[in-house]
Amino acid sequence: MDYSCLLSDSSDDDLDFMSQMLNQAQAALAETQDQNKNKCERKTREGKRPNIERSAQEGAQRLVSDYFSVDPTYTDEHFRRRFRMNRNLFTRIVNEVKSTNVYFVQRADATGKIGLSTLQKCTAAIRQLAYGSPADAIDEYTRMSESSARSCMLEFCRTIVDRFASQYLRSPNSEDIKRLLDEGQKRGFPGMLGSLDCCHWEWKNCPTAWAGQYKGKGKKPTIILEAVASQDLWIWHAFFGMPGSNNDLNVLERSPLFSDLYSGRNPQVEFIINDRVYTTGYYLADGIYPPLSTLVQTITSPVGQKRKHFAKMQEAARKDVERAFGVLMARFAILKNPARLWRKEDLATIMRACIILHNMIIEDQRNDASETDVPFNCRNSDVTVNMGSADGFQAFLERYDQVHNATLHYQLQADLIEHLWKVKGEEEE
């Protein structure tokens, strides 16, 4: 407040009094400013940092100029290496994510400042998934804070799961099973639906109270992923979340892999091996799994040329799931590095999102001209697929006993041994 007009029209006594009051007011104002300054300093010490002006709009323009303009700075090869997918697929994902989750729509805040663009948010999420980098490592390029980058990645993964899980993380339908059976027939394994195995993801920030049950033979907390993969590395089944102290057999007991089979909701398969008819498809697995009629394992110490040939062929075909794990972790390094998040639910969301993106990339790269133009029903005359129907509890128990019938397991293995040996003889002739 300006007191000069009051001082000019007053007497000497009034001037002294008002000068004294002016000094007191100025002292009070200075004290108030000091108190406010101390409050701000205390907030800063408590962890509330002032906002940094990152020039987000300039970063958005640079991102478009680098990768999404008519004449981008970096080529398609650079884009695929850094985004792990082609530009068309990434653009499709960005549009779907934007239409599904309002979080990715560019908006203005309460002060009228324009926020981050959709491309910036999706790029930040993909960079963290692809390179496994910390949230604050991409600040210089995407122009966003650590907390914003972490939120973008989690929201991106949740949206991917919500939008695409029903299409890219589903059980195979009748047409898919026909294609899988045809691939197995060509490789010498009629009735094969894929390869089954487990892998571990190390959990660096596992809570101390849980560390004991999540530590396995590696002495570090891990979470287990059970998956089924086909020859083209498509992951058809993913069960994630079991503590690392369990082995593959324990995971299978908790897995929903055979739930549809027990309930009669799976497509009914019929194929012939060594002149014997089978009605249930099977998976290739390693030796830790039990002798189920739906699993085929190798022979540990084969004796004779037939058994040696079978072991060689089975172990070669079973590597499909191992290759799928390797490609998945190479494509998304966040799964190869120790997980730094605290919540198990967030890790499950990230894992599911990476598998969905992995399958989307495989579909985008698939050569449709040589495979899908051939009608499925003309590929293999020995295979028929019919949709099953759920019925009573007694039928459930019968199907459960059939799956756990060790006699059928060894009979299927023996028939496959003879079939592969016969195929080898035909090829040599």
For 196, half-sphere exposure in the C-beta direction (CA atoms, 13 angstrom radius) is: 27
221 pLDDT tier (thresholds 50, 70, 90): very high
Mean pLDDT of 125-131: 94
DSSP characters for 93-142?
HHHHHHHH-GGGS--B-TTS-B---HHHHHHHHHHHHHH---GGGGHHHH
314 pLDDT above the threshold of 70: yes
- What percent of the chain shows pLDDT beyond 70? 82
Cβ pair 120, 59 in contact under 8 A = yes
Lowest mean pLDDT among 34-48, 87-101, 145-159: 34-48
- What percent of the chain shows pLDDT beyond 90? 57
Distance CA 266, CA 282 (A): 13
**What is the pLDDT, as a whole number, of residue 57?**
81
**What is the pLDDT, as a whole number, of residue 268?**
79
Lowest mean pLDDT among 23-27, 211-215, 345-349: 23-27
> pTM of the prediction?
0.82
188 pLDDT above the threshold of 80: yes
Residue with the bigger pLDDT between 106 and 326: it is 326
Q: Read off φ and ψ for residue 136, nearest 5 degrees.
A: -90, 0
Distance CA 319, CA 245 (A): 24
37 pLDDT above the threshold of 90: no
Residue with the bigger pLDDT between 388 and 94: it is 94
Distance CA 342, CA 352 (A): 17
Cβ pair 380, 181 in contact under 8 A = yes
19 pLDDT above the threshold of 70: no
46 pLDDT above the threshold of 80: no
Please state, in angstroms and as integers, the Cα–Cα distance from residue 94 to each residue in 107, 269, 394, 408, following that order. Answer: 16, 39, 48, 49
240 pLDDT above the threshold of 60: yes
Cβ pair 81, 353 in contact under 8 A = no
384 DSSP β-pair partners: 270
145 pLDDT above the threshold of 90: no
**What is the pLDDT, as a whole number, of residue 174?**
85
376 pLDDT tier (thresholds 50, 70, 90): very low
Say which residue the tokens 């906002």 belong to: 51
**What is the pLDDT, as a whole number, of residue 34?**
55
273 DSSP β-pair partners: 276
10 pLDDT above the threshold of 90: no
Distance CA 122, CA 85 (A): 13
Name the residue among 256, 252, 264, 236 with its Cα closest to residue 177.
236
Q: State the Rg of the chain over Cα.
A: 32
**What is the pLDDT, as a whole number, of residue 79?**
93
291 pLDDT above the threshold of 80: yes
354 pLDDT above the threshold of 70: yes
List Cβ neighbours of 111 (8 Å cut-off, separation of 6 or more).
Answer: none
DSSP characters for 385-411?
EEE-----HHHHHHHHHHHT-HHHHHH
349 pLDDT above the threshold of 80: yes
Q: What residue type is assigned to position 407 of the chain?
A: T
